[in-house]
Chains A and B, each alone.
Chain A
Amino acid sequence: QKEVEQDPGPLSVPEGAIVSLNCTYSNSAFQYFMWYRQYSRKGPELLMYTYSSGNKEDGRFTAQVDKSSKYISLFIRDSQPSDSATYLCAMRQNAGNMLTFGGGTRLMVKP
């Protein structure tokens, strides 16, 4: 079993839809959680960064962490075709540790 699991998709939604992307993990010591967005033929771009449990909102994006369930989510409101990309979750135990990445979910937002 992988340490971080992420549905590879592809997830196809119409423009304007609310998108929910999720990751589950097995290591309860993870405390720092990130979401990266990767456009085709580009490097990953840090999108959201959260520490421990709770929610964090940034514009149309909301990151949610539920440590009791070992489950993190990224919500995208009013999705746009420009949101079409692969979304990677990543996490680590503390600031000094390496990141463990999920496999990525490919999202397609259709106009």
Chain B
Amino acid sequence: EAQVTQNPRYLITVTGKKLTVTCSQNMNHEYMSWYRQDPGLGLRQIYYSMNVEVTDKGDVPEGYKVSRKEKRNFPLILESPSPNQTSLYFCASNRDGDYEQYFGPGTRLTVT
């Protein structure tokens, strides 16, 4: 089944404790993105990648890092989480030239 997977689905952590949210897609898509969803704001892009070793900032990159060492994986790293990063996070992927994005199930992060 073609899909985007994320882990964990739920995470509660404390301020300053480094964490990684994994994302993997099995559709051989070139493009991958991370979004965060906040009430009333919709989804906003954090980082994106156009292929292996090619990543760049989106609209709200502060406090986040990413890497793309393999085509299928695109982890999101919060080196020192803060409460304002409490949000619902989505990973998405799409094929080059196809603008429909496929979304993972989401990761709900709470930082206390």
Tell me, yes or no, whether A binds B: no
